[in-house]
Amino acid sequence: MNRNQINLLNAMKSVDQFFTENPKLLEEKPSLKAAVAQNKVLISEMEALSKAQKTTAKSDVALKGETRTTLVKANLKVLAGVKAVGIATNDTRLKMAADITKSELNKMRDNNLIEESQTTYELGLSLAPKLVEWDVLTPDIEAVNTNSATYDAMDPAIKNIKARSSQATDDLKDKSKESSAFLRDTLDEMMVTIKTSQPVLYAQYQKARAIINIHGEHGKGTTPDDSTTKK
């Protein structure tokens, strides 16, 4: 939620509290009672959208980072074995194929790391019997393939979460406009009817209704009698 949306939601909650503390205002006023109920609904909807907006891919991104680290380690173990075989057999091709550092793997783009992992996996399978001597077993080789597949599958899930969060942001913008208009055109207009007959309560409503800028200049805000009631 942005600053204005937070301020609006706080005002709506303050208004709800005002009516909770002054239930007699709703007696024999079914329209006002319905409006107060609608305010509660709008509060719930805005809070739900805010929660959806905050549901980011943060944890998934962190998990992806952990999987990438595991994938890099799996690659390095197999590559170390391949290099050892290359040195033992004086095979220049194998030594060159295994000449990849941890830093280089970490700097690779996702697609490149997945491609490199596939190459490492296939190379490991072809040398599996010889790699045993260097403590690289079949599970170690398979770990490269398994972690690579897991890592590759994470991007679509993360993008989906980000898309849902983006949609919630758009929906929250629309809901904020709806809520602001509801306060201004419905609740405020209904409460004007007690401005003369119950000036103290009306003043209390104005205070509750004031939209305070909690992130800006303290103590400043707008009330129903300010510009927010002007159409």
Please check whether residue 57 is in contact with residue 162, taking contact to mean a CB–CB distance below 8 angstroms. Answer: yes
Q: What is the pLDDT of residues 151-188, one digit of tens each?
A: 988 877 666 777 777 888 899 999 999 999 999 999 99
Lowest mean per-residue pLDDT among 84-93, 146-155, 177-186: 146-155
pLDDT at 9 over 60: yes
- Mean pLDDT taken over the chain: 88
Alpha-carbon distance values, 175 to 137, 181, 182 (Å): 58, 10, 10
Please check whether residue 209 is in contact with residue 198, taking contact to mean a CB–CB distance below 8 angstroms. Answer: no
Identify the CA nearest to 147 among candidates 73, 67, 77. Answer: 67
Identify the CA nearest to 33 among candidates 210, 225, 223, 186. Answer: 186
Instruction: Find how far residue 146's CA is from the centre of its chain.
Output: 28
pLDDT at 6 over 90: yes
Identify the CA nearest to 9 among candidates 172, 187, 188. Answer: 172
Task: Please give the pLDDT value at position 30.
Answer: 94
3-class SS string, 76-87? HHHHHHHHHHHH
Q: For residue 183, what is the DSSP state?
A: I
Q: What phi, psi does 22 have (nearest 5°)?
A: -130, 65
In 14-167 the beta strands, taken as DSSP E runs, fall at: none
Q: For residue 186, what is the DSSP state?
A: I
Whole-angstrom Cα distance, residue 65 to residue 207?
49
Q: For residue 185, what is the DSSP state?
A: I
Task: Please give the pLDDT value at position 139.
Answer: 96
**Mean pLDDT of the 213-231 span:** 47
Identify the CA nearest to 74 among candidates 140, 153, 8, 158. Answer: 140
Lowest mean per-residue pLDDT among 10-19, 27-36, 133-142, 148-157: 148-157
Task: Please give the pLDDT value at position 205.
Answer: 94
pTM (global) more than 0.85 = no
